[in-house]
Chains A and B, each alone.
Chain A
Amino acid sequence: MAPPEQPHQGRVTPPVIAPGHTFRSVTDKIGGIVLTKRTPIGWFVGFGIGFIFLLVLNVTIGNLLVTGIGIWGNNVPVGWAFDIINFVWWIGIGHAGTLISAILLLFRQQWRTSINRFAEAMTLFAVACAAMFPLLHTGRPWLAAYWLFPYPNTMGLWPQFRSPLIWDVFAVSTYGTVSLLFWFTGLVPDLATLRDRAQSKGVRRIFGVLSLGWRGSARHWHRYEMAYLLLAGISTPLVLSVHSVVSFDFAVSNLPGWHATVFPPYFVAGAIYSGFAMVMTLAIPLRKFYHLEDFITMRHIHNMTKVMLVTGMIVAYGYANEAFFAWYSANPYEAFMMSNRMTGPYALFYWTLIAINAVMIQLFWFRKVRDNIVLLFVLSLLVNVGMWLERFVIIVTSLHRDFLPSSWDMYAPTRWDFAMFTGTIGLFLSLFFLFIRFLPALAMFEMRTIVPEAKMEHEHRG
């Protein structure tokens, strides 16, 4: 069937899937990326770059374990520094995956279908990167087990459950586990498709084991859909709780710049904002190089931009709220913190993040911007820079000049700090490239539900 002619004025909402697709074309297109014997050269380039930085990470961790965390720039007033900046940055990025897979499912947002799978993968890999920082920040991660997890040990020690840091351990480990369960559950019918489509016996066997013998039985689908809905319902409060708990790490303390009521919602919004930026950063090259423009359409790009605009404005409100209460509280320490943030040695970082997260995102109001893929790619990268700077500013400017001027100091990261950070980006990229090569990056069975063939003809019913 020929697609109806659409006017070019640009006022039309683009479809969530290009017209003319069938069960087979959707499956072949997405499954073909995995089942082909030919790996695109660009994949090797991308994976190679990621892998080099992954090796950097390995060297850094090796050095860290041998030498200790003295290789980092952390000092006495700024004890949290890069570890927590990067931890919060990565965890935040993960949140968009769960928002797309769970919250948008509950809201029946059909456009989530084309982007949920790789966004969930992004969540898992981001959580893996994030978890590394606090763990290695302990310096002796092999001892961290009894510091962090409640298990009966020979010393009779138990973690301190009144500390937000322990809440964080529970929030992040629950989040990682539930995201993995959700992701794997979503994958099973697709793995069965790959099992049935695979040409080689070995590949068929691997997918056969992974797909658990899925056969698409109506009884199974019935429970499966219920489980999917329940997992979405469970994940929705979970994802909101995770970044709230992360914000408690700061908000529960008494430090000016951290001790703020607005932190939980402001952190959650910031997480979704940066996460959508990362989804965009991944989706734009993915759709280009694998020619997935039919599935990840301009509709998705537009909607993601709009989500970023909304959540970015909430974040900007958070900045305004912080500044307002620093003045309104009439607390000299709060006021000093804010003036130090705005005019002190790290002022450049503060104003850069304001320029990005409060000013630059106003560009997203314009349809011309939302239609410009290359510009959006650059802007989405900048958003992630902005959100990284936000965490830097919150952590470093609050710590480096605290209540006692005699303990003031400056913080500068060392090359090992950067090695660790870029190393986790390498880990993330390596995992992501492996994922798009070996697993279906888009949910095939869910894509099949949105093609016209899936529509039921209802006229036979009374």
Chain B
Amino acid sequence: MMRIALFVALVILAIIAPFFVYPVFLMKVFVFALFASAFNLLLGYAGLLSFGHAAFFGTGSYITAHALKVWGFPFEMGLLAGVVASTALGVLFGLIAVRRLGIYFAMITLALAQMMYFVYLQAPFTGGEDGIQSVPRGTLLGLVDLRSDLNLYYVVLAISLAGIFCIYRIVKSPFGQVLRSIGQNPDRSVSLGYSISTYKLAVYIMSAAFSGLAGALLVVVFQLASLDEVNWHMSGEVVLMTLVGGVGTLLGPIVGAAVIVTLQNYLAEVGQWVLVIQGSIFVIIVLAFRKGIVGELSDPESWLRTTLRRVGMRSPGPGPSARPGEAVDLGQARQPVRSGD
């Protein structure tokens, strides 16, 4: 309940924010919050670490940019074109990738995404190194002029929130429950009669669709589709955002996206040092916030105890750990018996 109250407070904050903060920066945060939430649907619940989500993000960008600029699609249809394209790509990649386990899944998704990078580098419509520039933003339903940053701000806010809400509903559904079970103990899910490949494919496609929507929105915001969106750096960044914020939590990817985008924007003047700072933060997160910022702060007592223990101080609490046996169980969940389905 408290989490919902917090969420509502954040939404209200978001509505008044553009009067205090540069709206384009905020829109960038929302877009990445949606992207990270889509990624988290896959990693945080089904336990699938994709290292190629840039392919969907970039496809959303390029196709939307092309549709808006060359085909002259209206705003809504332009976004839809991007989402449809990334969903289709998700079906294709998903069929190839979802039967692979663990590191092989990460590797094959990376490989497929790199293929897409070269496609977009070479394809005649993408403009190669230049990208697709000065993409028109258009109007919302032919009524609201989106050339105004403030107008666009509320549209991007609404679409991002709607996307994140859909993801929330998926997580909190019977289907989401099956995903969690697969993430926690795939062999047991199979023995209960779940064809886990089908579920993995379904969630992979959903994740691709929302990633594509995020990419499409980014194009409208910056009026530019470039190779940055399909580069493997982008795949890494979304992993980083999700882990920093808290994998498997609703707010985690949003917080993670806000932290990383803020760092990149406000530390831009220090140049290459931004990467060093980003790396240091990642190290700190891994050492002290293993479940991410949101993951740890939702249980501050246990966080304090484990962190003190990790740095070698005596635990102030009664027990050695808040939840004994947890670590053991995660290990047990990965059993030696493996199956194709």
- B is a partner of A: no
Q: Which of A's residues lie within 8 Å of B, judged by CB?
A: none
